[in-house]
Amino acid sequence: MSKVVQTRVESDLQNRIEEKADQRGETVSEFVRGILENAIEADDDTTPGLKSRLRRDLDEIGATDDERGVADAIREDTWDQLSRPAFRSEVRNAMLETAGVVYVAGQGSSRSVGHWLIGRLQNHGRQAIVNAAEPLLSAPIESDDVVVLVSQSGETDACLDLAEYAADRGATVVGVTAPESSIADTSDLSVPLPSVTEHVSQYATKSLIAQVTTLQTVLFDEDPSLEQIEARLDALTAFVRDQFDDGELRDASQFKRAAAVLEEYNETALDPIVASAGTGHRYGIEAAQKFTEFLYTNPTHEHIGSVRDGALNLLFDESAYLFTILPPRDERTPTDPCAEHLFVGENAIINELLFKTNAGGSLTPRLVAIALDETDDDETDSTIEQIGHQSMYGEDGVILLSPETYVDGAVSTDDLSRSTIDLFVYGSVFLFTYALLNQRWDTDRQLRRTIIKQTYA
Which of the 8 DSSP states describes residue 379?
Answer: B
Regarding predicted confidence, which is higher, 17 or 241? Answer: 241
Helical pair 3-23 and 28-39, crossing angle rounded to 10 deg: 90
At residue 117, the pLDDT reads 94
Same domain, 99 and 226: yes
248-249 vs 189-192, strand pairing mode: unpaired
Domain assignment of residue 300, yes or no: yes
Domain assignment of residue 59, yes or no: no
Contact 92, 126 (CB under 8 A): no
Same domain, 19 and 79: no
What region does 118 belong to: left with phi over 0, alpha with psi -120 to 50, or beta?
alpha
CATH number at residue 84: 3.40.50.10490
Q: What is the dihedral of CA 450, 451, 452, 457, to 10 degrees?
A: 80
Domain assignment of residue 51, yes or no: no
The secondary structure of 70-127 as a DSSP string is: HHHHIIIIIHHHHT-HHHHHHHHHHHHS-SS-EEEEESTHHHHHHHHHHHHHHHTT--
Q: What is the pLDDT of residues 66-114, one digit of tens each?
A: 889 999 999 999 999 999 999 999 999 999 999 899 999 998 889 999 9
Domain assignment of residue 439, yes or no: yes
Same domain, 250 and 312: yes
Spell out a b/e string for 57-67, using b for 16 or more CB atoms within 10 Å of the CB, else e: bbbbbbbeeeb
**Which one, of 407, 339, 341, lies nearest residue 371 by Cα?**
339
Same domain, 418 and 339: yes
Same domain, 166 and 298: no
pLDDT reading at 229 higher than 60: yes
Same domain, 258 and 227: no
Contact 71, 230 (CB under 8 A): yes
Lowest mean pLDDT among 37-51, 230-244, 286-300: 37-51
Domain that holds residue 389: 244-455
Whole-number Cα distances in Å, 372 to 218, 308, 325: 26, 27, 9
Domain assignment of residue 46, yes or no: no
At residue 43, the pLDDT reads 40
Same domain, 282 and 368: yes
Q: What is the pLDDT of residues 142-197, one digit of tens each?
A: 999 999 999 999 998 999 999 999 999 999 999 999 999 999 999 999 999 999 98
Q: Number of structural domains, the chain?
A: 3
Q: What is the pLDDT of residues 424-454, one digit of tens each?
A: 999 999 999 999 999 998 888 888 888 877 7
Query: What's the CA gap between 97 and 111, in Å, rounded?
Result: 23
Same domain, 287 and 185: no
First to last CA, the chain: 26
At residue 6, the pLDDT reads 45
Q: Strand, coil or helix: what is 348?
A: coil
At residue 386, the pLDDT reads 81
Whole-number Cα distances in Å, 212 to 301, 430, 437: 21, 15, 25
What percentage of the chain reaches a pLDDT higher than 90? 48
Last residue of a domain, one of 201, 233, 265: 233
Of the pLDDT bands very low, low, confident and very high (cuts 50, 70, 90), residue 11 is: low
Domain assignment of residue 260, yes or no: yes
Average pLDDT over residues 291-306: 87
At residue 45, the pLDDT reads 45
Average pLDDT over residues 202-208: 90
Q: How many C-beta atoms surround the C-beta of residue 350 within 10 A?
A: 19
Residue 169: φ, ψ to 5°: -100, 5
What is the distance, to the nearest Å, from the Cα of residue 431 to the centroid of all Cα atoms in its chain?
10
**Which one, of 304, 390, 302, lies nearest residue 354 by Cα?**
390
Domain assignment of residue 61, yes or no: no
248-249 vs 244-245, strand pairing mode: antiparallel
Mean pLDDT of the chain: 83
Same domain, 197 and 315: no
**Residues whose CB falls within 8 Å of the CB of residue 189, separated by 6 or more in sequence, listed in order:** 90, 91, 94, 172, 173, 174, 175
Last residue of a domain, one of 233, 268, 295: 233
Last residue of a domain, one of 233, 252, 276: 233
Query: What's the CA gap between 280 and 276, in Å, rounded?
Result: 5
Same domain, 175 and 206: yes
pLDDT reading at 34 higher than 90: no
Q: Strand, coil or helix: what is 350?
A: helix
Regarding predicted confidence, which is higher, 278 or 234? Answer: 234
* 102-106: strand order across its sheet: 128-131, 102-106, 146-151, 172-177, 189-192
Q: Strand, coil or helix: what is 244?
A: strand
Average pLDDT over residues 375-392: 73
pLDDT reading at 36 higher than 80: no
Same domain, 299 and 428: yes
At residue 5, the pLDDT reads 45
Which of the 8 DSSP states describes residue 376?
Answer: B
Spell out a b/e string for 167-195, using b for 16 or more CB atoms within 10 Å of the CB, else e: beeebbbbbbbbbebbbbebbbbbbbbbe
Same domain, 316 and 389: yes
Domain assignment of residue 62, yes or no: no
At residue 311, the pLDDT reads 76
Burial class (CB in 10 A: 0-12, 13-18, 19+), 138: exposed
Taking the alpha carbons of 303, 306, 311, 313 in that order, is the dihedral positive or negative? positive
Q: Strand, coil or helix: what is 130?
A: strand
